[in-house]
Amino acid sequence: MKVLKRLTAANMIWVITAYVCLFLSIIIQFFWTIRIGMIADAIVSREKIEIKFMFIMFAILLASCLFIYLKSLAGKYATERMAHTLRMDFAGKLLKSEREAIGGYEAMSKAQNELTASSEGLSGIFDVIEQFLSGILALIFLLFANLRFTLIVLGPLIAVVLLINRIGKNLPGLVNAAMDKRISNNKTAYMIISNFEAVKVFGAEEFFEEKFKKELEEWGRLETKKERISAVTNSVSGILSQLPLLILFGVGALLIWRGYMTIGTLMIFLNMTGSFIRTITNLPSWVVRIKQFLVHLSRTDIASEIQH
Amino acid sequence: MEPIIFGENLSFSYKEKEILKDLNFAFKKGERVGIVGESGSGKSTFLRLLAGLLSPTEGVVSVAGETKAEGIIKKISMVMQEAMLMPLTIKENITLGKDVPKERINEVIKAAKLDGWIDSLEEGIDTYLGDRANEISGGQAQRIAIARAMLKDADIILLDEPTSSLDKETTTEVLEALDRLMEGKTVVHVTHHPDLLKGYDRIITVKEGRFYE
Ligand SMILES: Nc1ncnc2c1ncn2[C@@H]1O[C@H](COP(=O)(O)OP(=O)(O)OP(=O)(O)O)[C@@H](O)[C@H]1O
Ligand SMILES: [Mg+2]
């Protein structure tokens, strides 16, 4: 968290711009969804659609395009700047340290892995926040629009989340173990290269090959296990995430037949719920991702402290 | 007596750059040979040829009856300027994965004067040198490298400035360990310090790719 705060503070203007654009682009999307619902209602009741209405639609579409563009531009720029700050901080510390540039293979290898993982994580985090925000805003909208209807759909959703959460429980530990193995593989490879002559003179090729193979196998084993669990998690969550929609359709159809709801409103609800469902089903994996990212980020600090 | 190391019309080039030119030499078994010369003159290159780490561009190099690099490398032991320690335990750094009886390991540890320090470590010889590899002193590192070389027990010892990165006091300690390593062996020692070559049988100066004695 410390590192993240520092990175954000150093690039405040860009971070704020990115999030303002993000917020606006989501809100404008909502307007679009609502208008589409209104058109559907007009079609069903064979009303005439006014030219003015179409103009507004067109304006919303333009604004939406503009903000999606601005959001992704500002987001990428902010992310890149933060990653740059991170790398420069690290390089600066390295320069200031008394030791030779290579403060042990382990420290270097670790720091490089952590830096790469952190930079990748930074751009991933922006996507996560974007989806999370649009889900939450959708929920707020739904609660205000029709409290009872929303709550009926929410019930099964929470069950789904709990279920997926249980299946994916040992995933974070595995991911960490696999990453540590990768670092260790890296280390062995680097060790052989930088001590090539000693390895040859003392006939240690086999020893290192064996070591490398063992580590590779271990990593492969962890990676397969990880993939297997996430495959199960993903397919189960894929099937289960359809369940609330089914409920929504059923309840919605009933309400329309009874005249409590229009087709347009149901369309809006489907769209908004879809956005919220995505958020809820992905939430556990996002939490894991963010946690991992924060661990990597904090480790870049540890890695640079080793140098001193 | 047949020389244990000899070269005939030995030349070596990195790409187009000729480093060693048409060398003829012969070292007898048990001889101590010092190699001096300016930086970049080709001393390390020469030693790598004797070690089987490089092969001649032209001519022949013969070491303990071997003329192929794969054969030569088995006959020699080497200590270089850098100790080449790796993120392994002290023991693994010395044995590099070979199955060696405990008594033999203790023997080389004593001979390399590592026993006092290793006894003072909580985990002794199984102490992991990972991140600590840069915490141990240059002298300790170099003595581990010497123990490693002792274990191989080759008849020919090649030294490439093994003390040049050490300060005066540690140099004395490392030299004592080196003396044990060189006992009864044929030695080729590259150095910038001629005073380390006292009592050597021959001193060769490398200049512009040729030998002067
Ligand atoms: N791998 C290589 N590729 C190309 N040229 C090299 C390579 N290694 C060394 N050289 C060149 O060969 C020449 C001799 O190098 P060498 O290391 O043998 O010198 P040296 O006498 O050991 O020097 P020093 O006293 O500085 O250790 C140098 O000019 C060096 O730049
Ligand atoms: Mg040299």
ipTM: 0.87
* B96/A199 Cβ within 8 A: yes
Give contacts of A107 with chain B, Cβ < 8 Å.
131
- For A8-25, the pLDDT digits (tens) are 888 888 889 998 999 999
For residue A173, what are the CA distances in angstroms to A162, A299, B128?
A: 19, 16, 25
B188/chain A closest Cα distance in angstroms? 15
Give contacts of B48 with chain A, Cβ < 8 Å.
197
Helix/strand/coil for B212: strand
The bound ligand whose nearest atom lies closest to the alpha carbon of B46 is 1
Q: How far apart are CA A176 and CA B176, in angstroms?
A: 47
Atom from ligand 1 closest to the CA of residue B47:
18
Q: How far apart are CA B156 and CA B172, in angstroms?
A: 22
Identify from A106, A202, A307 which residue to disrupt to test chain B contact, counting B C-beta atoms within 10 A and taking the largest count.
A202
Positive or negative torsion for Cα A97, A98, A103, A107: negative
Give the residue, out of B10, B12, B13, B17, with the most ligand 1 atoms within 8 A of its beta carbon, to mutate for a pocket test.
B17
Question: Where would I find the H helices in chain A?
Answer: 2-10, 12-44, 51-96, 105-145, 147-167, 171-194, 196-201, 205-257, 263-306
Q: Token pair of A204, please?
A: 């240690």
Q: A191 and chain B: CB distance < 8 Å anywhere?
A: yes
Q: Which residue type sits at A128? A: V
| Predicted confidence (pLDDT) at residue A78 exceeds the cutoff of 80 | yes
| Predicted confidence (pLDDT) at residue B27 exceeds the cutoff of 90 | yes
Q: How far apart are CA B142 and CA B138, in angstroms?
A: 6
* A201/B131 Cβ within 8 A: no
Q: How far is the CA of B80 from the centre of ligand 2 (A)?
A: 9
- In A, minimum Cα distance to B77 occurs at A201
Q: Token pair of A250, please?
A: 């059923």
pLDDT confidence bin for B149, thresholds 50/70/90: very high
B140 within ligand 1 shell (Cβ under 6 A): no
| Cα B209 to the center of its chain, rounded Å | 21
Residues of chain B that touch chain A, judged by Cβ-Cβ distance less than 8 Å: 48, 51, 53, 73-74, 76-78, 80, 84, 86-87, 96-98, 130-131, 133-134, 145, 148, 152
Question: Where would I find the H helices in chain B?
Answer: 43-51, 69-75, 90-95, 102-111, 115-120, 138-152, 168-182
| Predicted confidence (pLDDT) at residue B189 exceeds the cutoff of 90 | yes
Give percent above pLDDT 90 in chain A: 6
| Predicted confidence (pLDDT) at residue B139 exceeds the cutoff of 90 | no
Q: How far is the CA of B58 from the centre of ligand 1 (A)?
A: 18
A16/chain B closest Cα distance in angstroms? 40
The contacts of residue A281 (CB under 8 Å, 6+ apart) are: A160, A161, A164, A237, A240, A241
Is B184 exposed, middle or buried (CB count within 10 Å of its CB: 0-12, 13-18, 19+)?
A: exposed
- Give the strand order in the sheet containing B17-27: B17-27, B5-14, B58-63
> B190 forms bridges with which residues in the sheet?
B35, B160
Q: Token pair of A161, please?
A: 């989340």
Q: How far is the CA of A30 from the centre of ligand 1 (A)?
A: 69
Q: How far apart are CA B171 and CA B175, in angstroms?
A: 6
> B13 forms bridges with which residues in the sheet?
B18
Question: Where would I find the H helices in B54-209?
Answer: 69-75, 90-95, 102-111, 115-120, 138-152, 168-182
Give contacts of B76 with chain A, Cβ < 8 Å.
201
| Predicted confidence (pLDDT) at residue A106 exceeds the cutoff of 90 | no
Give the residue, out of B11, B45, B55, B192, with the most ligand 1 atoms within 8 A of its beta carbon, to mutate for a pocket test.
B45
Q: Please give the tally of structural domains in chain A.
A: 1
pLDDT confidence bin for A82, thresholds 50/70/90: confident
B93 within ligand 1 shell (Cβ under 6 A): no
pLDDT confidence bin for B148, thresholds 50/70/90: very high
Give contacts of A106 with chain B, Cβ < 8 Å.
87, 130-131
**Which residue, chain included where needed, has tokens 């890695």?**
A303
Give contacts of A213 with chain B, Cβ < 8 Å.
none
- B151, B211, B189: which is closest to B34 by C-alpha? B189
Is A165 exposed, middle or buried (CB count within 10 Å of its CB: 0-12, 13-18, 19+)?
A: middle
A245-248, long-range: CB < 8 A, 24+ apart: A245/A270, A245/A273, A245/A274, A245/A277, A247/A152, A247/A153, A247/A156, A248/A153, A248/A273
The contacts of residue A69 (CB under 8 Å, 6+ apart) are: none
Q: How far apart are CA A137 and CA A279, in angstroms?
A: 11
Q: A105 and chain B: CB distance < 8 Å anywhere?
A: yes
- In A, minimum Cα distance to B97 occurs at A207
The answer to whether B86 and B93 have CB atoms below 8 angstroms apart is: yes
Identify from A97, A187, A201 which residue to disrupt to test chain B contact, counting B C-beta atoms within 10 A and taking the largest count.
A201
Q: A98 and chain B: CB distance < 8 Å anywhere?
A: no
* B76/A201 Cβ within 8 A: yes
Q: How far is the CA of B15 from the centre of ligand 1 (A)?
A: 12
pLDDT confidence bin for A211, thresholds 50/70/90: confident
pLDDT confidence bin for A307, thresholds 50/70/90: very low
What's the pLDDT score for residue A308? 37
What's the pLDDT score for residue A104? 52
> B188 forms bridges with which residues in the sheet?
B33, B158
**Mean per-residue pLDDT, A53-70:** 90
- In A, minimum Cα distance to B136 occurs at A104
What's the pLDDT score for residue A306? 46
- B159, B59, B151: which is closest to B102 by C-alpha? B151
Q: How far is the CA of B42 from the centre of ligand 1 (A)?
A: 6
- For A137-179, the pLDDT digits (tens) are 888 888 888 888 788 777 776 676 666 666 666 666 666 777 7
Q: How far apart are CA B113 and CA B111, in angstroms?
A: 5
Domain around A204: 2-307
B191 within ligand 1 shell (Cβ under 6 A): no
* H helix or E strand, kind and range, residue B60: strand B58-63
Q: Which residue type sits at A72? A: S
Is B109 exposed, middle or buried (CB count within 10 Å of its CB: 0-12, 13-18, 19+)?
A: buried
* B74/A202 Cβ within 8 A: no
- B30, B28, B21: which is closest to B49 by C-alpha? B21
Q: How far is the CA of A197 from the centre of ligand 2 (A)?
A: 14
CATH of the domain at A52: 1.20.1560.10
B51, B76, B87 ranked by CB distance to A187: nearest: B87
The overall average pLDDT reported for chain B is 88
